[in-house]
Amino acid sequence: MTIHREGYKSIGIGTLIFGAINLTMYFFFSASIMWLCNIVFILTLGLLLFLISFFRIPNRKLTISENAIVAPADGKVVVIEETTDEEYFKDKRLQVSIFMSPANVHVNRNPISGEVVYNQYHKGKYLVAWHPKSSTENERHSVVIRKNNTEILVKQIAGALAKRIVNYLQVGQKVNQTDEMGFIKFGSRVDLLLPPGTRVNVELNQAVQGGVTVIATL
């Protein structure tokens, strides 16, 4: 397991706060209320470890397959339905949405190899990530990757806690399946918009792993 580069600053700040709180507690109160110092230490250590775990990148055997669309994120499948895309395709698409809890790995990966033909950031609200309107009203970053004659839209969506979306891709860039496409800090959601008729390999409420689980087959 490694730590994602997006976490260096947050973990550094968290470590400084952890040290400051506990040094203060033990310096001023250890002689009189040692039990309280120990409780504060355990609680703050737990929060620091959670912060570190949030930015983890576990060692995995990633799925590389010419015909597969792999999960762009860890989480739970919360939507599989036909929808009308008003942003890019202007027609019906098959939407598969993955909800990412704060406990999930939050690095986002390219579901296919291909060329980035669209990349757009949208300001928006911060509705809870499972809200039906979060796909169109929340802060989000949309990317379309084209492979041969197939285009897939990947939408990184901020949630009530996630208020920073990072995207590394640029229009015209050639990308490889399972390489990092971005990162969303704290609980959030990722939508995939697939061609109508795409054969989906997952079910509602199924837990998926980013870069590993095959969401659908081209």
Range 141-150 average pLDDT:
94
pLDDT at 113: 97
114 in a structural domain: yes
Do 172 and 209 belong to one domain?
yes
Residue 64 predicted with pLDDT over 60: yes
Q: Is the pLDDT of residue 84 over 90?
A: yes
Tell me whether residue 104 is in a domain. yes
Assess whether 79 and 21 both reside in one domain. Answer: no
Tell me which residue of 206, 177, 213 sits closest to 79, measured CA to CA.
Answer: 206
- Percentage with pLDDT > 90 across the chain: 67
User: How many CB atoms are closer than 10 A to CB 23?
Assistant: 10
Q: Enumerate the active-site residues.
A: 188
Claim to verify: residue 90 and residue 145 sit in the same structural domain: yes
Residues 127 and 101 in one domain: yes
**Does residue 12 belong to any structural domain of this protein?**
yes
Query: Do 191 and 119 share a domain, yes or no?
Result: yes
pLDDT of residue 24: 93
Q: Are residues 136 and 42 in the same domain?
A: no
Query: Which alpha helices (H) appear in the chain, and where do they start and end?
Result: 8-29, 34-54, 134-137
Choosing from 10, 36, 57, the residue where a domain stops is: 57
Residue 143 lies in a domain: yes
Final residue before a domain boundary, out of 57, 78, 103: 57
Residues 115 and 89 in one domain: yes
Whether residues 80 and 113 fall in one domain? yes
- Inside any domain, residue 63: no
Q: What is the pLDDT of residues 3-15, one digit of tens each?
A: 888 889 989 999 9
What does the DSSP 8-state code read for residue 138? B
Question: What is the percent of the chain with per-residue pLDDT over 70, rounded to a whole number?
Answer: 90
User: What integer pLDDT is reported at residue 80 of this predicted model?
Assistant: 95
pLDDT, tens digit (0-9, with 9 covering 90-100), for 89-134? 999 999 999 998 888 888 999 999 999 999 999 886 656 555 555 5
Does residue 137 lie in a domain region? Answer: yes
Residues 99 and 161 both lie in one domain = yes
- pLDDT at residue 5, rounded to an integer: 85
Q: What is the average pLDDT score of the chain?
A: 89
Helix (H) or strand (E) holding 209: none
Lowest mean pLDDT of 35-44, 152-161, 164-173, name the range. 152-161
Residue 49, CB-side half-sphere exposure with 13 Å CA sphere = 6
Residue 23 lies in a domain: yes
Say what the pLDDT of residue 196 is: 92
Residue 173's pLDDT band, with cuts at 50, 70 and 90, is: very high
**11 and 83 housed in the same domain:** no
Instruction: Among 57, 82, 101, identify where a domain stops.
Output: 57
Cβ atoms of 192 and 90 closer than 8 Å: no
**Is 115 within a domain?**
yes
How many distinct structural domains can be found in the chain?
2
Does one domain contain both 52 and 75?
Answer: no
- Check whether residue 146 and residue 48 sit in a common domain: no
The model carries a pTM of 0.85
Q: Which amino acid is at 188?
A: S
CATH of the domain at 188: 2.70.70
**Residue-number span of the structural domain to which 18 is assigned:** 2-57
